[in-house]
Structure 1
């Protein structure tokens, strides 16, 4: 038994807003299914999801999820079997997840934009026996299906769960006008609505599910080599839901009585950030999610948000920035917004400042990883001043900075951030060697991120180990240079990478997307020279029309490095 943490171990508790507990009660639910069952019954009459102008009630999610769970069981799937889910933010996604969990199965979240090679790896590594996939990406599955363990395919479409005639219209436009469904052959596939219909004639067999059972396989680490599955137990995700609820409570309690808590779900649900903080947290609070299938289609985002009242908006810096610079920004009513959570990548000071000015709601930067379900720390939601930090550890979470030998570094010194808490994964799926590299015997997870902690317990990310640039023996952290450049106000987006240099080993390269078309290379050099010491200044500057990003909106520095 490890000794309980003392106040000295948690200097950040003094930064907690009034009413936020130091720890959370993890005994409230035995599993995510217990949470699902409670909320789907308790809030049956409420709207759970708003999608393409249509609301889906909790009762309807409940009905369809029960039927689909019974369908899975009728196909011989048993507790612990993995089911892949390869869809954007459509109504079938939350129904499929609720069904998988209720049947005692494990959710394997799959990025719909994967290539056949990437999909094949994930399906084989997870051993998934079934997949729920949207037809837009069915051709990818068809290309690798014979080399995977998949036995059952449930095929969804964009408009399938919408009322007639909108169902027909949406599918017609997607298939025939926008031509977003490449030809494919999956003769064994069953349509989503047909699977639900078949399941309605069957009875769902209750499965005993406990806190130590696996709930989600969340794949990660693709940037550091082969993609690995983070094993998230029911108790891991539950802990993070309850931690997030406690953290947001000081501002979410300001929602007027009788007004349903509503979140914008623009981040993809297959990403653990939206999975936990949008879908599962909203279920817990009886809230509604406005589903955005494609956050890169900004006109469609604004169309979905017009006329809507919403209170919570988790997003990444690039999405906040893109929305702010869109001409339709003021067509949306932002006045009800209580909390904007920035995660996934560093929030830039210039973006945070403008977001607060335009919406009246600060961006609270948080931090986490797939391995921590995902949230580990966040800035207090009651604070309006942007600090550039990732805030303080969430209730029940410990964090510290370690040197390469695993010893805690002095206060204010950079070290690898290590995290301990109930949201930390059980390990990597069937990779005890990889698990041992990142989780110590006493349960500390090494994040691979370099950070510093100040005397108040606030943490600041300096950078990923691998992103650090070494210039003549001096460390340059890309986040610092990027933040300076964004402060200029004439840059839409930027990224900093290291490039080989015969004189200094590595040099700094800056890649910029202009906001001001008159911006020149010399303007940037003059601006940086005033604000950065010599070795941090960009040696090479490149202008581009856009930067490569993941589907979640993270800028792909690795891709930029390879192109340099």
Structure 2
């Protein structure tokens, strides 16, 4: 039996989910997810790993659909609420989904597909209370297909088993000391491992409460924080940046009140993108917390984390989580010595099963001796790992040097007029690549010659940008990650 769902029976009367102003117990979650299972099975004994897609907002309904699919023996394929129809159709076609469960809010979006495909579409409100015999699910069954963000190519479906998910959950609940007394506010989209595993599944595994806020709103987030119920918060750097900006516009009395409540939190985490040191330091001033940075991917959940108890070093991602093995390797998959940049490679029960229907891509992502190749470059510095960037977009190869775009971005963000930035490599016949920087200003105008003069005092010449563009904001995907290939196009 799926351990996550089995454990819910131990917490039947506890609040599992808060959404849309209502509380839902673990018992209600078990009952409603069984109704979803019965609707999907339609008298069959087992879905036999049929792909069931669903377009449901972050809510109690979302969780019941996810659990209902799993309990019926299907593979859950969560769709992104913010994706246009062609992106949704790509996932449906790629997974060969047999069924889509949706809520009324997405009926108009999906309606062009109702008669043009052989997919069965089920509106959530049409699911009736019904009990059924549920199949026995073994842990090595495929459970979930999540799609990569596509920042470096076409999105691929990452298949994880129930055993993979269990390993990902237990690594985090152990390392971050989750308990049934925790209450997490989940403001992230639920088609991504950050929201699904790190928050929702870890909370439900522990008997804790997961509260959903359907739409990002800094005021609403702070208002919830002031109730003194939430004690765990996780977000991407973009969200922390927006919360800081909102906080700085408040009166001194409002700031003091919020800071007092934030100081009572047990844990605050940042992930899914590199956390600028400037954001970490400003949030520490506001909340009294040093954000816990961690490292993971769709293909493995979380693999490396700063300690829950212990020193967290800005710009570092910490040490391997329990049960996860990490090594840094060169282009020939040979382990590099400490202090030398290398690709992060991972082994462990948390690592995904395969890319859906892409055996060659799956094979190419592992070394001959079974290590998953992340494509991310890091160094081991003193006692923890430090990310230098993604090999394809964050490591710039110029004039024989390998240069970290993230390092240059950290320096640029210290300029008093710069709000944010994105650094990329631009193809160049002479140098291989030259450095380009997209700049977002706080206000006013900044002359390129003045910026060039300033940064040459901060970085060696081979690390200084040769070209600049100025934008109102950086291009991002739905998780807040900067899409650097889009920035590259602006230069080329």
The verdict on a shared fold, with TM-score over 0.5 as the criterion, is yes
Map of 2:37 onto structure 1: 69
How far, CA to CA, are the matches of 1:493 and 1:301 in structure 2?
23
Does structure 1 residue 45 correspond to structure 2 residue 10?
no
Which of 297, 311, 314 is residue 234 of structure 2 equivalent to? 314
1:304: Cα distance to partner? 4.3
Structure 1 residues 345 and 67: CA distance shift in structure 2, 3 A? same
Does structure 1 residue 261 correspond to structure 2 residue 182?
yes
Q: Output aligned runs, 1:119-268, within 5 Å.
A: 119-146=88-115, 148-154=117-123, 192-195=124-127, 198=128, 200=129, 202-220=130-148, 222-249=150-177, 260-268=181-189
1:303: Cα distance to partner? 4.4
Show CA shifts across 1:270-289 (max 9, x none): 21111111111001111112
How far, CA to CA, are the matches of 1:462 and 1:321 in structure 2?
21
How many correspondences in the alignment?
Answer: 481
Show CA shifts across 1:55-114 (max 9, x none): 222222222111111111117572311111223322211111111111111111221222
Paired residue secondary structure (1:411): coil
Which of 513, 529, 540 is residue 456 of structure 2 equivalent to? 529
Which of 58, 69, 79 is residue 26 of structure 2 equivalent to? 58
State TM-score, norm by structure 1: 0.80
How far, CA to CA, are the matches of 2:43 and 2:151 in structure 1?
36
1:50: Cα distance to partner? 2.1
Paired residue secondary structure (1:301): helix
Q: Output aligned runs, 1:294-443, within 5 Å.
A: 294-295=215-216, 297-326=217-246, 327=249, 330=255, 332=258, 333-372=261-300, 374-383=301-310, 385-443=312-370
1:341: Cα distance to partner? 1.6
1:527: Cα distance to partner? 3.3
State TM-score, norm by structure 2: 0.91
1:421: Cα distance to partner? 0.7
Map of 2:200 onto structure 1: 279
Does structure 1 residue 465 correspond to structure 2 residue 433?
no
Gaps of 5+ in 1: 1-30, 155-191, 254-258
Which of 74, 81, 85 is residue 105 of structure 1 equivalent to? 74
Paired residue secondary structure (2:131): coil
Higher relative contact order (CA 8 A, sep 6+): 1
1:520: Cα distance to partner? 4.9
Does structure 1 residue 542 correspond to structure 2 residue 462?
no
CA RMSD of aligned residues (A): 2.2
How far, CA to CA, are the matches of 1:528 and 1:133 in structure 2?
51
On the 8 A contact 2:103/2:125 being kept in 1, the answer is no
On the 8 A contact 1:82/1:108 being kept in 2, the answer is yes
Gaps of 5+ in 2: none
How far, CA to CA, are the matches of 2:60 and 2:450 in structure 1?
48
1:502: Cα distance to partner? 5.3
Show CA shifts across 1:313-362 (max 9, x none): 11111111111111358364312212122111111111111111211111
